[in-house]
Structure 1
């Protein structure tokens, strides 16, 4: 991650473009084929604090959907040593290699700390000079080393947001004229009592008396139109929560019949295809189950397929009939029936 991040940040820095997290994130994910988040940037800062300088800036050009130029963005500035002669500092290939080696050494130092703690926990404990250490202890599992704790990154300043007319009036009271203050106060009172709107002051008395008898579209003018959508969304969310609760409390013996019913429309189509391919008026139950097991998308045993066929015959006796004799059971299908109406009946 550090190698990919250093490469992309170096490209942006060398062409005098401000590297932001939104710009480098997609490029890093394309290079490493993994998810890259701000917590990974914090881990890099923990390992190599002198590699970058992070700031929250606004006014940085962005080409990402849903992000405005006025929004705060996390900028990443590589920390480089000043070259002689005051030349512009750039991330050259040699510097990228040097920074990669430093980062690798610092990661090994972190692992050495965990290795030292592991040796101290042994009985008896061991102390090995780090300059003589050539391999890890056999009981020290490198894969069990805990993840690096991400460092704290700069966060955008908390901006106070207003949502009601009263809050606007309280914040901007000293910056407005008396006429504007009066208008906002009237708006606040009107929004606090939406159920009893006062008639407009400019309407003559003859029109005021006809206000209650206006059409619904005019009588509801000014009512918050999003309220019905919110009510419907809340009802849908409530129904989804009840369905999820029911699914979590289902026992296995309750869930299996429901799964059987969900498979029946697909099995009806497969069964009709089997009869059309065999070109026979009737098939033995064993042969029909074997053919359907090989053609069905869901993996089932012949015994399970037989249970589904018996359920189909029970639900649709006019379409699928079973004829039993002394030695075997035969299945007969009405090929002239409309398959769309059959599957629609099973879906319901």
Structure 2
């Protein structure tokens, strides 16, 4: 036997199989290609399916041109009579209900239209209001009589209904559908009543009502003594003596009526109709009509219209004519100024009229607090509690700035210290002189 070594190393057998690893390959950046180790990329373009979308044609107008009428309309200052406002509200509700039926491509009959408009208007709606709208705005709707069937009735009785069709211009629609295989482009004409169309129709209807009132107002100005000549576009208020509620009623357009189909329920109706048909326009009937007309003319007495009583002429009896003419000219000039006055001028006049009273309140606040400088928010809170009008804080701050601008000798200033606004007054200034100057300014702006 051979001899064994003194020390024997006993170790566990090593694993010959290792977990597979990814060998990093060199990346070549020179030729623009890289061998990066990552998940395989999808080279195929996925198929995209889109629902048809509307594309605006290239020839459409920009938004600032399409909505320019909304900017130019501004805030209306001329009021309409109550009956005209009711008719405008009726047209608005009628147009809203008609748009819902029209966009669903339903036949709009008076039977379906009346209850829907009455629920929305909270008032009765009849054909007389529809006739007024048709007279004032004939391009808005088309009216016709259509024969309707009644399939659920036992008698199978057919009847005629008034059909209302909104007169809306056709709008072009451009629809595009994109797929991998091909592109489908569809374009065509379609009528619809969108909010923009409804707004334009309502504005046009209100303008027509306002034009009628302007014509009546111009007639009233011409009837004055002396007559006033003013362009209707310059008028921002009606004349103080103009009776706005006495404007004439809107005329009524004759709507299409169903054909006159006589239905006889008994033999008596047939005989009476035949008798009237054959006895009319006979020589005897014509002679009796001429005799009755002559008798009516002979019985009418001669009517002498008395002269109208003029209370103004009786009161001004004995007053010099030149003085009356000067007074009337002064009244006409004052009325002309009030009719052409802008709303911004009224706001400026009211602000200047508040300044004298506001100066007294500010002076009292500083005297009560025994200080020459106060926090601006504290002064505004005091003015909100003590001023005779309820004015928002921002508007009150603008009034204080206007007061500081119009008062002399820096009577009121706004120092800004440590990110806070303060109010400071000059106690040595004469408040009486300041109030007189503010009252003079208010008279000039009136």
> What range is the shorter-chain TM-score in?
0.3 to 0.5
Greater relative contact order, per chain length (Cα 8 Å cut-off, separation 6+): 2
TM-score between both structures, scaled by the size of structure 1? 0.44
TM-score between both structures, scaled by the size of structure 2? 0.35
Structure with more helix by fraction: 1
